[in-house]
Every structure is written in structure tokens, then in C-alpha cells.
Amino acid sequence: MSGYLTGVLVVLAFNVMAAYAVYLPLAAGQLNLGIAGFMAIGAYGSAFLTNEYMWPMWAAVPVGALAAGLTGLLIGLPVLRTHGIYFAMATFALGQVISAVFLNLEVVGGAAGYPVTDYAGPNVVFAAAAGVVLLMLYISRTRFALELTAVKSDPTVADLLGVPVRGMKVAAFALGAMVAGFGGALYAHHYNFVEAQHFNVLLSVFTVLYVLFGGTQTVWGPLVGAAFFTLVPELLRASDQWRYAVFAVFIIVFMAIRPQGLVTAALFRQFRRRAPEASS
């Protein structure tokens, strides 16, 4: 594999992990606009443990992910009292605060950035992304995923049927945060450098863009969305300075024509009609 192709695929792997981190709470109707903050917690956490305490990577990365998940849990409890646009704005603010905190933390280099010693090669990153995708596929086959959809679709009725609405939301949010932290930790070890400025609003917002573009009705949407957003700008490289403008026009027109995203549940049902025995 050429270095260029590997580089693009690594970016894809990181984007896929981030996309699923956004997807999980979104499946329950919660728009997380601060995913970059949770990635930063994973990245800095894992980097710090390997650098300063000589932890091995295989231990530091999960702990970084857990730290991000725990932050999601602690913040999720008060923040999830709010809903809709308020929740989105709270996560947005949270993402900004987290990356600003790291920008000011001198123990991890502050604004100058933080070099990371332990290196995770491309294959490790690919395996991690594949693991996240498999985990999501598994979750999508469970009652947990079904009830997340129920919570999104009609929280009042879900509550009366006994579904712990707030608990489901907090769980989805914290799990998503953990996935983000996991991706962030690997990011730190793959590029051997983290800087707070990388984990900014636009990273969060672009990740949301992948997910909505791919579609939130099925578990495949985020994967397709992330792949599209990573690969197409590369293909458009020929037109260089215009490529993001062209790309933006494409997003606008596409969302106007197909607001439900690229991959939808109805699309799957059509496939299933053609092969009826495959259905549940």
C-alpha cells in the first residue's frame, strides 16, 4: 500500500470512530456538538499516562477512553435535563471548554502541543476502527438500540412503557463519549503529537455532518458518511483550491434533495423484499 493511500485510510479510520461517537447519542435524539472535547480527553489522557507514567499503550488507551466516557457520564447527568437545541448548545460549550482547558494545561505542553512517545501503526488504527464498527453493529442488533430509537421517536410514550428515558440518554451519551475518547487516544499515538487547537468546534461539527449525511436511521449511515467525506475531497484534489467550495455546494444540494441522509431504513427494506428470507 502506498504511503499516500495508507495516510488517507488512517484518516478514514479516525473519522469512522468519531462518526459513531456522534451517532450513538443521536440515535436517541441527542445532538452532541462537542465530540472533539471528548476526543481530546482520550488523547491527552492516554498520552499523559504513557509519557509520564510509562504505562503501556494497551492499558493507557482504554483508560483514556474510560476517562472520556466518565466525563460524559458526569456532565451528561446535569446537561441531559435540557433537551433539543439546549442540549446541543451545552455539548458545544463543553467541547470548547475542554479544549480550552487543555490549551492552558502546562503539564501537557499548553499551547505548544504535547509530543507523544509511544507509536501506534496504521494496522493498529485500522483494527481499532474495525472493532468500533463491529461493536456498533452488535449494539444495533440489541434492545438497547431499539429503545434508543423509541426514546428519540416519542419520549413520553417510551417513558409510560417503562423505558428509563433519561438513563438511556445518559448511557448513549457516555458510550459515545467513550468511543470518541478511544479514537482520540489512538490519534495521539498514531501522530505522536497532540495539540488542543486540533480538537476545535469545526472537528465536532464536521463529524456531525458525516453522520447526518450518511443518515441516522441505520447503523451503516455513519460509516458511509465518513467514507464519503474522507474520500471524495481527496478525489476532488485535482480542482485543488475550489474543492471545498465544490464539496460544500454538493452537501447543500444533496441535503435539500435527500434530507434523511444517504442510507435509510426504507432502502434496507427494499433490499430485504428482494431477499425475503434474510429478514428477521
Partner 1 sequence: MSTALEISALSKSFAGVQAIRDLSFTVPKGVSTALIGPNGAGKTTVFNMVSGVYGVDAGRITVNGVDVTRMPSRKRIGTGVARSFQNVRLMPHLSVLENLLVGQHVRASSLAALFTPYRLIPNHRWKREARAALEESGLGRWADETVSALPYGVRKRIDLVRATLAGASLLMLDEPAAGLNPSETNALRDHLKDLMAKGTTLLVVEHDMHFVDSICQNVVVLNFGEKIAEGPLSRVRQDPKVREAYIGSDGEA
Partner 2 sequence: MVAQQIVNGLMLGAIYMLVAVAFTLAIGVLNFLNFSLPGLFMAGGMLAFGLMKAGWPFLLAAAGALAAAAFISLLVERFAYRPMQGGDPEVPLVSSLGFLVLLENLMLVQFGSDQQAFPALLPDLNLRIGGLVIGYAQLASLVLSLGIVAALSFVLAKTAAGRRIRTVAESRETALLMGIDIARLVPQLFVASAALAALAGILFAVNYQQVSPFMGEGVGFKGVAAMIVGGMGSIWGAVLGGLLIGLAEVVSISFIGADVVNITVYGLLLLILIVRPQGLMGRAPSREKL
Does residue 172 bind partner 2 (CB under 8 A)?
A: no
Q: Are the beta carbons of 91 and 33 closer than 8 angstroms?
A: yes
Smallest gap from residue 2 Cβ to partner 1 (A): 38
Straight-line distance from the first to the last Cα atom of the chain, in angstroms, rounded to the nearest whole number? 39
How many chain residues are in contact with partner 1, going by CB under 8 A?
29
> Which residues does 223 contact at the CB level (< 8 Å), separation at least 6?
16, 19, 133, 214
| Residue 154 CB, nearest approach to partner 1 (Å) | 6
The answer to whether 205 contacts partner 2 (rule: CB under 8 A) is yes
Report the alpha-carbon distance of residue 113 to residue 44 in Å, rounded: 10
Instruction: Work out the number of other CB atoms within 10 angstroms of the CB of residue 146.
Output: 12
Position 143 contacts partner 1 (CB under 8 A):
yes
- What are the C-alpha distances in Å from 108 to residues 32, 53, 58, 61, 188? 26, 13, 20, 16, 12
Check residue 192 for interaction with partner 2 (CB under 8 A). no
Using the contact rule CB under 8 A, the part of the chain among 9-17, 36-44, 152-160, 186-194 near partner 1 is 152-160
Q: Is 213 in the site for partner 2 (CB under 8 A)?
A: yes
86 binds, among partner 2, partner 1, none (CB under 5 to 8 A by kind): partner 2
| Residue 149 contacts partner 1 per CB under 8 A | yes
Handedness of CA 112, 113, 118, 121 (dihedral sign): negative
Candidates 119, 138, 242, 271: give the one binding partner 2 (CB under 8 A): 242
How many CB atoms sit inside 10 A of residue 277's CB?
A: 5
Does the footprint of partner 1 cover residue 141 (CB under 8 A)? yes
Q: What is the dihedral of CA 63, 176, 209, 137, to 10 degrees?
A: 110
Q: Note the residue count of the chain.
A: 280
- Regarding 40 and contact with partner 2 (CB under 8 A), the answer is no
Asked if 74 is part of the footprint of partner 2 (rule: CB under 8 A), the reply reads no
Which runs of E-coded beta strand occur in the chain? 114-115, 193-194
Which of partner 2, partner 1, none sits in contact with 160, Cβ below 5 to 8 A by type? partner 1
Q: Site mask, partner 1, residues 208-227, x = CB under 8 A?
A: ---------x----------
Q: Which residues bind partner 1 (CB under 8 A)?
A: 138-144, 146-147, 149-150, 153-154, 156-165, 217, 265-266, 269, 279-280
